[in-house]
């Protein structure tokens, strides 16, 4: 029987990796498969670089942000969490697009950033009930 007095540590490197690996793997694989079925080599080549990496970076930034503020702020409303992190991550993505002159991949990077951010902000536990973070 679990002791309800001890709150489990839901923020850890293991749980971050459990969120980060699918956020890299699934967008990359789905983009690659789409390129394969459509016979588009440029989509297949870009799938694991300009599509999967922005999703991974957005996931890591979002998870790290909520891990860092878990005791300072309570973001119980999921829409507030999502819009806050979308603003931050889209600003960073656009800044990097302009800085690194990645205009040709702008749509891929923005879309992948949105997907990684929304899924992570939706799933990350930030609500504390009965000494457990949910």
What pTM does this model have?
Answer: 0.80
Is position 31 within any domain? Answer: yes
Is 6 within the bounds of a domain? no
Q: Which residue range forms the structural domain that includes residue 44?
A: 13-128
CB 126 within 8 A of CB 81: yes
Helix runs in the chain, H state only: 13-38, 41-46, 52-68, 78-99, 106-123
Number of residues assigned to the chain? 134
pLDDT computed for residue 114 by the predictor? 92
Instruction: Tell whether 103 is covered by a domain.
Output: yes
| 1 within some domain | no
Rounded mean pLDDT, 94-123 = 90
- Position 1 pLDDT exceeds 90: no
How far apart, in whole angstroms, are the C-alpha atoms of residue 90 and residue 16? 21
Give 4's pLDDT tier (boundaries 50, 70, 90).
very low
Identify whether 8 is part of a domain. no
pLDDT above 90: residue 73: no
Residue 89 lies in a domain: yes
Query: Does 46 reside within a domain?
Result: yes
Is residue 36 assigned to a domain? yes
Domain count, the chain: 1
**β-pair partners for 79:** none
Residue 41, SS3? helix
């Amino acid at each position: 029987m679990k002791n309800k007095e001890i709150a489990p540590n839901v923020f850890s490197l293991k749980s971050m990796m459990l969120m980060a690996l699918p956020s890299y793997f699934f967008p990359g694989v789905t983009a690659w498969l789409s390129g394969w079925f459509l016979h588009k080599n440029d989509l297949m080549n870009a799938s694991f670089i300009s599509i999967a990496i922005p999703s991974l970076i957005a996931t890591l930034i979002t998870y790290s942000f909520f891990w860092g503020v878990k005791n300072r702020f309570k973001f119980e409303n999921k829409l507030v969490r999502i819009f806050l992190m979308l603003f931050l991550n889209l600003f960073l993505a656009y800044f990097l697009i302009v800085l690194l002159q990645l205009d040709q991949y702008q749509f891929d990077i923005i879309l992948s950033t949105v997907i990684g951010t929304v899924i992570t902000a939706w799933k990350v536990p930030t609500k504390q009930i009965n000494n457990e973070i949910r």
